[in-house]
Structure 1
Amino acid sequence: MMPSSLLTPDAQLDLRGTPCPINFVRTKLRLEKMPLGGLLEVWLDPGEPIEQVPDSLTMAGYVVEQITDCSNYFSLLVRRPVAVQ
């Protein structure tokens, strides 16, 4: 487990009510504006958004650090990688 201080987001994006794939596109655009190693917290609806967005971000090269079920939405912590692999 990482120390909780490393999981403090640098920015937050509320995409509740945003349909796929717009929520993935908005998340990706926000991550591209962040510094390398930056951590973004994204709020996503249950169902298709939380099923699709984390996998899409992983395939795009981002690191999904944590997914938290907040009962009526999900909090996703995703990090912009420091180095392109």
Structure 2
Amino acid sequence: MVILGTIVAIVTAIIISSFLGPYGLLTMLAVGFGFLFSIHARVREVQSDLKLIKQHLGIMETKEAVVSNEEIEAELEREMAVARE
């Protein structure tokens, strides 16, 4: 449906630009800007909806914890001690 609307809008812009002559390019740029603005608004709406869905389901974005080299070495030594036993 979106593709059909895009095709119809492009064809309409070309027809309008052919009737307007020198203002045709300006008209096509305005239509292109309108498309970009519409797509941007829709993407923001979808991102907002996705954020609400994640909150509702309790899905959190986890970031990796920063582990120091000393902690890694201590854990490796513990694992090696357990493996020796």
Q: Give TM-score, length-normalised by structure 2.
A: 0.27
Larger Rg: 2
- In terms of fraction of residues, the more strand-rich structure is 1
Of structures 1 and 2, the one scoring higher in RCO (CA 8 A, sep 6+) is: 1
Q: Give TM-score, length-normalised by structure 1.
A: 0.27
- In terms of fraction of residues, the more helix-rich structure is 2
